[in-house]
Amino acid sequence: MLDDPSQCFLCLSSHDTIQCNQCDQVATCRQHVKTHTSSVGTCYPFKVQNDWEMGRYLVATRNIRQGEVILKDPPAVLGPYTRSKAQCLNCFKKIDSKNRFDCERCGFPVCDKECGRGRYHEDECELFESVGFRAAVEEVDEFDQQYSAVTVLRLLRVMEREEEVNNNDDGCDYVPGMIINLMDHNEDRELEQPNIWNFEKEFIINFIQKCKLGKRFTETQIRRAAGILATNATTLELPANGFGRGTAVFPTYAMMNHSCLCNSKTIINEDYSLQVVAKEFINKGQEITNQYMKAEKPTIVRRPFLREKWFFDCRCSRCSDPTECGSHLSSLICSKPKCGGAVVSFNPLDNKSDWLCMRCGAVILSNRVKAVLERAENLISNPSEEDGAVEHYETVLHKLSSQLHQNNYLLIDVKQKLAMLYGNTAQYSMLSMSRPAKQRKVQLCLDVMDCLSKVESGYSPWRTNMLSEMTRTKVAIARKEFSSGQLSKAGLKAVLMQNKFLMMYLAYQQAAVVEKK
């Protein structure tokens, strides 16, 4: 589809649009003028494009620097998971069975009167009150089917409201008019996910109909809302202790395409808004992509999950490369005598493909590869009672070194765990560890960074952890050598200065992905 400069940068409407007089890169319709600019008045550097193959996706309207905020997206809807235990329907806190407060209007337990009248609980509360339904939540620590339809009802109310607004965005706290463009994949879901499809029928559709809301929302409308949530919702980053689980739909963010080598990072703020930050330099006209799964996951895990959850077969450059950009996250080791070559998938775009050794050409059947990985996972997850965590993981690395490539995702995960255990446990504290143990920790950090840097650029939690741990260990080694006379004062100063700069760089990288508020 050819780019029409008169179309709104977001909804692609050509009706009543104006050219942005600040950046002169996009046109906006009346509904989405505010969406184009940040809270400080700068223009966000993206626009939506659409074609028959890719659907809607985001591209850069100018060169975007690493660490720059690309967009900020308030949630159109947020709420509990469909499989949820009792939690406050306004703030997501878990319900204390000994000190609970039930909403006066609908009966659902909430924190207090304030949460009972809260903005997030308002929609379903009004709906339940209008038909005289009152929830009866008894066990707060078990799945309660009364929660399954809550977020669907909230989305249905948003969809109603968008029709009511009818091109007037007054009072909208989210990006208006965009929910209608989101895919539900209901045809695929009905065919390929019968268990989920039947669950929605029993716990969402039937529940809404029993609540006498069936006349207001048809089964087709309910299915549409449930499909939008299943396909486009993002998990909220709630505190681990004292909170339940939450999910949200961000309309602009939902239009971004996945790439296993994405160029952006997603952050969810305390106010539940979402922002997208550039992980690397992005050229004008380049597609802006995100990642639905962690970069540490190998192709043999990523592609089946992407297919199962989002109904597409990723064919990006990483998925097409048997070595995964040289990282070898999926690779095994050839068992032929005196070979030891890397064993990779013959065709990584075929999940049932056989594998072959890159050195001797030996073919390994796919079911045998799966068996090797399953045995390795079982070994890792079942430590012997006499071994501590460090001893167990070191034993695992030794036993699996003849079967799995040193960068195989299972071993990289073990190395990350070991790197964090050394120097941070009572038995292996930084003060008590021997020099070889400290050098082992540094090597583990280097192994992880060398592997994962091939598949993920820019800021990431694993990179921060590994660099921080490596820096701390190098400083500890240098101080020990200085105290024993093995290192001069100038040498110690050089190490401290080098690692000070590294820590400053880490702090800058972390700060670069957080928009100033």
* Residue bearing the bigger pLDDT, 489 or 506: 489
* Domains and their CATH numbers in the chain: 18-74+251-290 (2.170.270.10), 77-249 (no CATH), 422-517 (no CATH)
Instruction: Output the DSSP codes for 273-338.
Output: -EEEEESS-B-TTPEEEE-SS-TTS-HHHHHHHHHHHH------HHHH-TTTTTT-SS-EE--STT
State yes or no: pLDDT of 377 exceeds 60.
yes
d(CA 47, CA 59): 6
Give 309: exposed, middle or buried? Use CB within 10 Å, 0-12, 13-18, 19+: middle
pLDDT band at 421 (very low <50, low <70, confident <90, very high): very high
Average pLDDT score over the chain: 91
For the four alpha carbons of 392, 395, 399 and 401, in that order, the dihedral sign comes to: positive
Over pLDDT 90: what percentage of the chain?
A: 75
Over pLDDT 70: what percentage of the chain?
A: 94
pLDDT band at 221 (very low <50, low <70, confident <90, very high): very high
d(CA 107, CA 98): 16
pLDDT band at 486 (very low <50, low <70, confident <90, very high): confident
Joined tokens for residue 228: 């939008």
State yes or no: pLDDT of 272 exceeds 70.
yes
d(CA 244, CA 92): 6
pLDDT digits (tens, 9 = 90+) for 123-166: 999 999 999 999 999 988 899 999 999 999 999 999 998 877 65
Nearest to 264 by CA among 303, 292, 233: 292
d(CA 475, CA 42): 42
pLDDT band at 514 (very low <50, low <70, confident <90, very high): very low
pLDDT digits (tens, 9 = 90+) for 437-461: 999 999 999 999 999 999 998 778 8
For the four alpha carbons of 7, 9, 11 and 16, in that order, the dihedral sign comes to: negative
Residue 421 near residue 387, CB atoms below 8 Å: no
pLDDT band at 169 (very low <50, low <70, confident <90, very high): very low
pLDDT at 163: 78
Joined tokens for residue 243: 């909170």
pLDDT digits (tens, 9 = 90+) for 341-375: 999 999 999 989 999 999 999 999 999 999 999 99
pLDDT at 24: 87
d(CA 225, CA 131): 21
